[in-house]
Structure 1
Amino acid sequence: MVSKLSTEEIREFIGDNNIARLGCNDGERTYVVPINYLYFDSYFLCFSLDGMKIEMMRDHPLVCLEIDRITNVKDWVCVLAFGRYEEITDPAGRAEAKEYFIKDYLRLRAEQTEPAPESSRPSAELHHKEVVYYRIQIEELSGRYAKHL
């Protein structure tokens, strides 16, 4: 049976996760990619290298995030967050966003029992590209779940 999540359940689920699928479009085609996020009450804080999704969101700022946990067809949770892309361009805001992600990265690394393999570490060429920090201002949230009893 499929049921609705309450607003409190939706916010708790979002806060317990940090990976979403971002849906954006350029007016003709839709692009869906996984992203990392940090959740605040009214927005998601995100970062990316400049590229196709950033260009699409700059031109068409209405986006959708999907955060889910799927165990099987009878046991899943899915939250949709509709919102608006907002690029963080001021130096103080960029520095603050960067610090949030550094702290989160260090927290996650401290929880790991083994170091990340060399192949999963960013290559040197990524350090030459511009990192874009942005918010997705939340305009609407909805969530559903199924649980087989």
Structure 2
Amino acid sequence: MQVDFYHLTSPLDRVLPRIAERVVATGGRLLIVAEPQEQRVALDRLLWSYAPESFLPHAQAGSNDDAAQPILIADDIPDAAPANAARNVAIVDGRWRDLTLTFDRAFHIFDDEAIREARLAWKALADRDGVERRYWKQNDSGRWEQAA
């Protein structure tokens, strides 16, 4: 299990679509988790309109055909497998959830407001068997660099 910690210094809308594109391009499925409804609505709009020449097929959890969606936006991680059978999860509201560890890969995306909780999650995962942690930060030119 791999957990990538992304410390945002630029807006989420510049980071999340690229992660989602990479997951879908490799045939993977993604569960995006954001508790606030207004954030889920904004993510829904973002994935349809982030680039004029493309979009990322997705739906909000609870719509008619969740199982067919390569990307599903939900308010939390379900106790059972996600309806779209995603093995990748992106937590974008900054709140760590231990059910994240039931996925093959996790993207924990947080800003300065959630840095304390991200640090606690990082430390808690240090001694977990089978968990590889990576910490990403942006350099001065805006490119992501692995820092740990």
More strand, by proportion: 1
- TM-score w.r.t. length of structure 2: 0.28
* The structure with more radius of gyration: 1
TM-score, normalised by the number of residues in structure 1 = 0.27
